[in-house]
Amino acid sequence: MQLYTAEQINNMERKALMLEVMPARDIQVIDESINRFTKQALETYVDTFGTSERFRVGYDQEGRIKAAVALEEAFWVRSYIRSVYGIKIGSIPVEYPKYILNADYYLGSTTIGSHPIRKTSQLTDASNRAKEAEASLHDTNTHYIGALLKHLTTMATGSSKETTAKKFIITLVKQDLDEELELSKPGGLRVVRENYRKRFYPTPTEKKYIKDREELFFYTPDSDDIEADVGVVDSDTLRGVIKQCIASLEMMESRLNEARSLRMTIETLKSGNKATKNRIKRAEL
């Protein structure tokens, strides 16, 4: 076996560590794809629902339904990506007005953050604010997004529906923030995956519906199907931004695989090191 100096082994360790850090260019791709798309969906939702007065008179019901469905789809995709790839993608911060229940306002004063957040302290702060806004609604009914969406798109206008629309956006954002926070913790991916199954596979019927959506958005169509989508990447469509985001995440997977190989080599090189053996023994407290 080739002999390595301590400096050479340290260089290998530094290289492994660098491989485990997502490059700025890939973070930028994620921000300009799925995060930008989500931000736009949030802005459209807030703009479409607007003030309580505009909402009550029932203008553009079809537009409201489309905005709500598009927002739900964007956040579902984010949950699926985290559950499959196990990598943080950032979250979109939302500022909720203190007077969220004021009769003169609906969602018009809700502010969408200009940049995604990733730091644990920022995510925790944003999650706490979402929790406070959620509590201000004084509503203990289910927070299952499917039920909220159905309620939002089928009920007549009124105070109950206003509360549902507020809860809808707050719940989506809070769940998104909490997923990012979970992936910051040891064992977080297991929790994220379990929560995904609970949220999106609550019944066999719902599971089949979501599985069909997963197939539609995330899998390559049969090449023999002449009527299948041709696959052009369009940054203004959900499928397009999914492809862009996944390309960066899969490059990160390759980096992590290279880092694991390096670490296995390093462990082999250190296996006969007396200092390493002593440290391993000390770990057995």
Q: What is the DSSP string of 207-242?
A: HHHHHHHHHHHHSPPPTT-TTS------TTSHHHHH
Asked if residue 73 has pLDDT above 80, the reply is yes
Read off the tokens for 85: 């790839």
66 or 124, which is more confident: 124
What would the mean pLDDT of 59-84 be, rounded to a whole number? 88
For the record, the structure tokens of 27 come out as 């973070």
* Least-confidence region, from 100-114, 162-176, 179-193, 229-243: 100-114
Please count the residues of the chain: 285
Task: Kindly state the average pLDDT of the residues 87-115.
Answer: 71
C-alpha to C-alpha distance for 75 and 72, rounded to whole angstroms: 5
Separation between Cα atoms, residue 143 and residue 280, nearest integer Å: 46
> Which residues does residue 94 pair with via DSSP β-bridges, in sequence order?
112
* Alpha-helix residue ranges (DSSP H) falling in 50-91: 52-56, 61-85
Instruction: Kindly report the pTM of this predicted structure.
Output: 0.83
| Structure-block tokens of residue 39 | 């931000």
pLDDT band at 105 (very low <50, low <70, confident <90, very high): very low
Confidence of residue 98 (pLDDT cuts 50, 70, 90): low
Residue 198 carries which side chain, given as an amino acid letter?
Answer: K
Residue type, 51: T
**Exposure class string for 109-144: b at 16+ Cβ within 10 A, else e:** bbebeeebbbeeebbeebbebbeebbeebeeeeebe
Question: What are φ and ψ of residue 265, in 5° steps?
Answer: -65, -45
Q: 204-234: string of b/e by CB count within 10 Å (b at 16+)?
A: eeeeeebeeeeeeeeeeeeeeeeeeeeeeee
Assess whether pLDDT exceeds 50 at residue 239: yes
Domain extent listing, the chain: 26-234
* Cβ atoms 198, 147 nearer than 8 A: no
Burial state string for 176-185 with b = 16 or more CB within 10 A and e = fewer than 16: bbbbbbbbee
User: Mean pLDDT throughout 191-205?
Assistant: 95
Q: Using an 8 Å Cβ cutoff, are 175 and 198 in contact?
A: no
The token duo for 62 is 């079809």
Which of 145-154, 161-170, 273-282 has the highest mean predicted lDDT (pLDDT)? 273-282
Identify which of 204, 207, 229, 227 has the alpha carbon closest to the alpha carbon of residue 219.
Answer: 229
The Cα 66–Cα 31 span in angstroms is 23
In the chain, % of residues over pLDDT 90: 49
For position 15, what pLDDT does the model report? 96
Of the two residues 156 and 242, the one the predictor is more confident about is: 242
Q: How confident is the model at residue 99 (pLDDT cuts 50, 70, 90)?
A: very low
- Residue 244: predicted pLDDT: 94
